[in-house]
Chains A and B, each alone.
Chain A
Amino acid sequence: MISTGEGLKFSSLADLDNQQAVISDESQYGHYNLKGLKGEFMAMASRCEFLARPKQAASKAQGDKTQGDKVQGDKTGGERITQAFERAMAEVKRIEAKYNRFSENSVLTQINRSAGDWQAIDDETLGLLKFAEHCYRLSQGKFDITAEPVLALWPFGDGESATPPSDCQIETALECVGFERLIIEELRLFLPYGMGIDLGGIAKEYAADRAIEVLRRELPEYDLLVNLGGDMIASPCCECPWQIGIEDPHKLDTPARVVTLKSGALATSGHSRRYLLHQGKRYGHIIDPSTGYPIKGAPLSVSVFAPQCVVAGMLATLAMLQGEGAETFLVGQGTVHHIIRG
């Protein structure tokens, strides 16, 4: 096990002792006799990992006989992976630092502090806001990055028997919610006073998309996988599919189902531990920001495959927001997906 960089922990893909929950199981490829490298770190409050495994064609080109210990034996190869992982991690951490709502210095915090006036925004933020706007429209207001005030009223996670908010509280909170109140122009944003933006629903998936781009650029001859706390994306056309476990919300940390990922992204929406029991009633964990109340019949978890992680993540979120209609919605989209209900 090598340890370099800030918080980036490396291990050979042959080391299976670290593999938990949502990971790839290398034993599946034992017969290819190909090993790779895994980098782990913490970011965005999740366990994140990068996996790189040489493509067979590439290893063959370098000679079959030495391929047994390819990566560890090939010093330059190992160094290149290390470097690439570090760059990709830096990109993830950059996005985390920029869009962390809880950090004093983040760009997002500055934006939220400047509510009530016009402010300049950069291209990246504009892109994310435009995407959020698109999703807001698509979902008819159910996906809303300004919804935090109303979401915060529902004390999910504070134990299972807290009190639901009153209608009056919700009405008050709704006054500070509504993406359409934002004015987004090419160079600037008007965030009305009292409102705030939370990019938590997009930033992690966006970071995964960016990280895989960094890795692909630097390690074109490797099969690659980026996993940011369950939102993951593989490099296109991996020679050997990555095996992904989808966790069962009833038995946390135990893979419920193994699926394979050969290219593209898989993202999961669902907070399996979140529901609220009050006076015998169980309140759903997905709140519709346009009303302030839980959506009926939301699944526990929705996983969706799509070419890009932001797209997979958003489809999962939109499906979740469909409540009872989640399955119908995803079938209508023709996506490969997996829905877990209680």
Chain B
Amino acid sequence: MRTDLKLLIILVALLSGCANLGVKPWERGQFAREDMQLDADEMDMAIEDHIYFSKEGSSGGRTLAGGGCGCN
């Protein structure tokens, strides 16, 4: 428990420390690509999440999506 909170703090610090990270609006071309969308594999991920949810002891993390099911 303590270790993961520590890790969280370090990572948040890393990200906020880099507030200058990023690109200019006209440098976002790559992110407009269809395959660069964060939900490009949404269907696959939902299917996998459902399988892992029913086969493994922990679940979630990626998104809120999902929900209850009697398979676990």
Contacts and interface: CB of A to CB of B under 8 A. Distances in A.
Task: Classify A-B as touching or not with yes or no (CB < 8 A).
Answer: yes
A190 B26 CA distance: 9
Interface string A89-118: 000000000000000000000000000000
B45 to A, nearest CB: 20
B32 A181 contact: no
Contacts of A256: none
A180 B24 CA distance: 11
B35 interface: no
Interface in B22-65: 24-29, 32
Contacts of B29: 179-180
A184 B33 CA distance: 10
A interface majority secondary structure:
mixed
Nearest to B34: A130
Interface string A65-88: 000000000000000000000000
B32 A178 contact: no
Nearest to B30: A180
Interface string A155-192: 00000000000000000000000111111110000101
A192 B32 contact: no
Nearest to A195: B26
Interface in A184-223: 184-185, 190, 192
A184 B32 contact: yes
Nearest to A178: B26
B interface majority secondary structure:
helix
B32 A185 contact: yes
Contacts of B32: 133, 183-185
Contact of B25 (A179, A183, A185): A183
A288 B28 CA distance: 22
Nearest to B32: A184
A37 B32 CA distance: 46
Nearest to B26: A181
A134 to B, nearest CB: 11
A285 B29 CA distance: 28
Nearest to A146: B26
B39 to A, nearest CB: 12
Contacts of B27: 180-181
A179 B30 CA distance: 12
A190 B28 CA distance: 11
A180 B28 CA distance: 7
Contacts of A182: 26
Contacts of A183: 25, 28, 32
A315 B50 CA distance: 46
Contacts of B25: 181, 183, 190, 192
20 contacts: A133-B32, A178-B26, A179-B29, A180-B26, A180-B27, A180-B28, A180-B29, A181-B24, A181-B25, A181-B26, A181-B27, A182-B26, A183-B25, A183-B28, A183-B32, A184-B32, A185-B32, A190-B25, A192-B25, A192-B26
Q: Which 8 A-B pairs have the closest CB atoms?
A: A181-B26, A180-B29, A183-B28, A184-B32, A192-B26, A180-B26, A183-B25, A178-B26
Given A180-B29, A183-B28, 18 more contacts: A133-B32, A178-B26, A179-B29, A180-B26, A180-B27, A180-B28, A181-B24, A181-B25, A181-B26, A181-B27, A182-B26, A183-B25, A183-B32, A184-B32, A185-B32, A190-B25, A192-B25, A192-B26
